[in-house]
Structure 1
């Protein structure tokens, strides 16, 4: 009954694990779908802020997933290089992930490339996207350098004090990094505000919210950064002397004064240059005005070569002479007219004279108009000359003022240059003094740093010695005898220890070259101490389950390893022996432990994973061949039974052999279906890899499939032998029943191993399940036909007590009781032996399919199991337990039937016995 309870509880445990795993997979699927939907809706090209619920969904998805794989797999496909708003929202979501998401980010290069791209493009969002990308890259680099500071910058005071309490140079570097971080954040905020002011964008509109939303995260970063900066500055002032900072302040003040004077000098030079340029422009303008005046003065073509003053005088003289000339012409014409009136013309010449008079009148009118036009032009020329003269006078006065200002500026420049020369000399003198003082202080600080680094190394070595001594104490501890370890786990620990020894040797060489930094050697010592102590304890635990000779050698090697390790750590702890410390002896002993662990591995563990594919094909082919041979052999056995037996015996043999033959055919169909399903699984699951790679990748599943195939083939062979023995009266009917049960369990194991990797909707899986049900039905038919045949044979030889006397019956009854007691005792012993055999069988199967040692937990906890079988083998063991349980109940049922039959016979016989 204990077996029954264990089997039921184990089956229930497997079912619960399967249900929990299914629920977890469903939750992961729902979480991934929700995360993808949130990413799609949050990072869009619409100029609106990212909604908080989408950001929360993305952050929760990264924590459930254990990383940002889903986010980055979708973000890679976004058109970030073609849409600036999309890039701005992408940076906002990445900033949220960096602050509150799962700490697993590895895409700094893509963010930096995106910032460089938008920094080179002139776009309204391009500039702020470039600044935001730069801020994110600085943030990622800062947190990679300082892992103790969380991404949201909410660091406890103790952690921050511990981070800045080691090295003043690291404090200074961290101060520079924090200043750079804050400068990038403030630059982004200033640029966003300037763009909103220039475009008159309101903060209540979606456009304004889209730009202002990321600044909330920037403000949340700047608060802790300011707190860090204040503490770092106080730390710097507390670690260095006041004189050094006072001298540094003087240097900074002198440098600022020099920079101010140089800027003023540059301004004065600029003003001087501008004055010279303006003076030259004024001179050119005066020359141009004079040239225009000369051109205006040469209006008349006849006086083109004369000067402007002569032209003006000649024009005035002509204007003055014109009236007298016109008056003469007019008087002459008037006289002619009077003469014509008094004396009319008598001939054609006189008429011609009249026409000439009319022409002269028209000419007079024309000359009057030209005279008025010339007078207007002369007045304009006079006005232009007067304005040019005034402009020339003004330019002359301006030139005089500029010349005076130029002389003043030259004197000021000379004075400033003399002052700058004196300040530079004072600065050079101060720099010389400070450089001498700095070199002295740096030598003292360097020696102090080396001493502190060696002190840290000594502390780490002392701690490592304690761990090794603790491991040696566990080796001799009686309580540790209960702890065992697998050889595979010991091999894994030993290999890691050898790698850590090589790494420690390299770090030792690096430390001897530069004793200012012992961080690499400290990490190597810590890792080496953990691994070497783990190897010692694991070696002792492995020796508890090994043969005596090998266990003694392994224990002695563990003690030798501890001795050499302590000697090596002692050499590292002292300055005198530090350069010649050599871990060769430790490596040699660990290599011996590794070799002994490999010798203790079980035989099946050395099979290469590349051979698994060939083994699967070989075992499936061998199983199919064995079943086909069994079917043919069954026909031969049936033919032989027909020749050698007759009557009831022949009928029983035909029924049993026929049912066994049907069972073999059903098993053959099952193996064929399993082979087809296995090939389908391999083709659909291997992807771009080969078949061998798929089997090597799924080695545990492959080994379960091989074990199931072997079990089916062995069961078919055993049933064939049992059927042959039953037909030839050399065997028992119970052997057929047991073989049918074993075959049913083996086929169930093969079906379970095939279903592990198959999809639920696979048609070949449904065919395999139908074949499995058919095998179970045929196995039941074999059992029923065997039992019915056995009952027919036994009823043929029924007992006859009619001829026995009372004394004879009493004697036979006592003999039967003695025989019953003997058989009951044998049955109890056989059950105990069967239980031991099954237990050993399950242990061997579990060890042969043990999972890799990397996935095992610490095997030194005596409350935890030391063997973790594959789920396929767990399922196989559960099916074996189930069928053995069915056999057990069948035996109980048969015994109950036999008991009631005997009781019924006894009740019928009792009235005929005298004295009853």
Structure 2
């Protein structure tokens, strides 16, 4: 102990300088001066909490601040406390809280009082006791629905604060196992009387305001208000039921009963059924508190009085019995003596118990008062110690200042000595206080141990008292039972006595008759003696039978007691077994519920994982739509239709699986399988739909299908939206994709053979109209170019636009195909010929469409070149396409025409004219391009050798880039042609290895899946650059073409 005290003293000596800095910082940081807290002071306070690992010094000094006297002081105290709580040691938060159950109640009660004051300050019309009429409530709410809504929310908050206080009090009451009849429980329960009064009025206000809101606003808007009211209703009903059952409230307040179910605010007629709960308080509601020492426990049964009265009641009966049969041999019965001894023992035990209780209570009271006094003295010693430390530090600070001034002023030596003496005296006093503190701590520990021993003795005494009470009850029960048995025995003996009395009377009468006869005859004396002897024997027999009955009665009583004890033990054992079985049943029930919840959670987790994977599949399909490599991929409409039909079937399976899962959430297997199949089929439909027509409406429908599928998956992932998840919108979009896929199928597959003739006529007429429109637009562009341009540009434009003779030749070609039917022998009509040769007819329709498309593109390219927005290469490509389309028409005509037909030769001659005019277009385009390039010659006069070298290097780099780009474009062109031939129906082995082309003379091209675009054919050989023929030559060609048309 001495070593610990010395060690503590050394530690205190080390902490004194640090403590002085911390106290100085606290006093400088928290003061009434209107200026901000300095960071160095706050930092020192925070470091002090880390050094002492807590906030004891801070709180011991801060509790002395007069916070209520200065608002600035309170403000700066809050600021410093905020910093300490935020950056201080981790024990600060623990030491800053009041660890007391009443502290928690005070916090909740303070919040309630703040809410109450804010409410009544804002709504001054409503009195603080809340006893306001409906008119006052209507006037406070007003006519504005917004004000009514806000007032309802405030009443909700008010009622929540009341119920929170009530729940906290009742929860602590149950935790501390307090009884409402004890002072500790009544101390907590007494404020709930005001809470019950406030809650009854607030409940009425809430019902009125909610009915008013439902009369003005839709029901969906007030769903949150109804849910909050239902929660408050059930909490308030539970609170009223619990307090109604407590004995403390039964004589202080009459608690109203709430209805079984909350009001239905959706029906306005329910307002008439609402009854305002009324709380009634008697005039005298203060309970009379009496000390436990003055209340003597009353016995449950007055055994002594009861036994005395029973004995007195039995006395006359015993006297009659004694008069008849004589007094008993032993006087009182042994059981009476046992009962008397038990009563005396019980009285002694009761007196001893009362004495022990009084002594224990007195001893406990003395110990509590002694503990409280010691704790108060300990707190005083702690405060004195703290103040001594502060004073000692202040004296040390003064001593240091004195020492510094001593070097300068020798005259202050006496003051220094006096201050040092004071410091020594203070240190001595501090040491004494510390020793006193140590003694108090040890004595406090000893008292705590004694208190624990006293509590154990009291608990043992209480157990003894309980055992005495149980013994007393058992003895009372035994006395009652013995009394009943004695009464029964007395009744039986009384009955036997009356019977014997009647028999005795009969015998006496017989004796009198015998005596009468004895006077007449002496011979009968012997008979009388014998009868007397017989009567005496009968009397002895009756006495023996009575004693036997008493023995049998006692044995029966003992057997009944043994049977009762066995029954009691059996009942206790059955109750214990029943409790164990109920506990096991509850555990099994809880385990089953936990397993069921776990199964539901696992099934939902599997569903979420499957939905996430399905989302990834759909998102991957959408990402492929944006992939440049996917643009080169194509698909057939037939495959798209098959995928779309399969996807529609999977939608029905998903819908069925969703319904099955909602009916039984413990089994999600059907929905998982349906979702897996649906995600893959939908992704295939999206990818193939986009590949079938990249620029057609199916591409947008595919994106819409992906969007709806992802939305459906999103609804499945959340439990709140799982019920309303519906794949109907996905079915609609997939049906649209299916319809568009059927529309994209080749027309030849959709058109019947008897309609092929009309279709050929329509396509030929459409092609002729397109060529005529192209000729007209070329003439208009030529006139416009002559007006707007001049010089070399005008010459170039005229050369390009003079290619209109090419369209005349195309018109001749398309017109010639109409008479091919007459060249074939055996054809009755054109429709029969087309129906008989449907495959050939499809190739003819494709060639006609290609010619019309080529003419239109030629005109568009020429227009762009004239307007300087296009490229000359586009004209060259279009001329090649027109030549290829012309070759396809000639090849189609050769298949069905006779070998030596004159009209066939005319058709071939027109095809040669088309090829020649195409070559002229190419040559004219290139010549015009060269003229324009020659006009813009480079000027090298201002360039030095280094600049020329640099330009040369840049040109070489550009040449290499263009050559690389050219190689890649050629490879891409080959792939496109190869894919085009595959779609056209040409086998891949017949495609040449050079550029993927084939001869159309041996294999006519069939219908393409995309009839709006022409079939790419082998380009004709390009001729040398010819000189531009004069206009007279062009006119001659036109004239020869017109003559050929007239002959046909």
Normalised TM-score (structure 1): 0.28
Relative contact order, CA 8 A, sep 6+: which one is greater? 1
TM-score (norm 2): 0.25
Task: Flag the structure with larger Rg.
Answer: 2
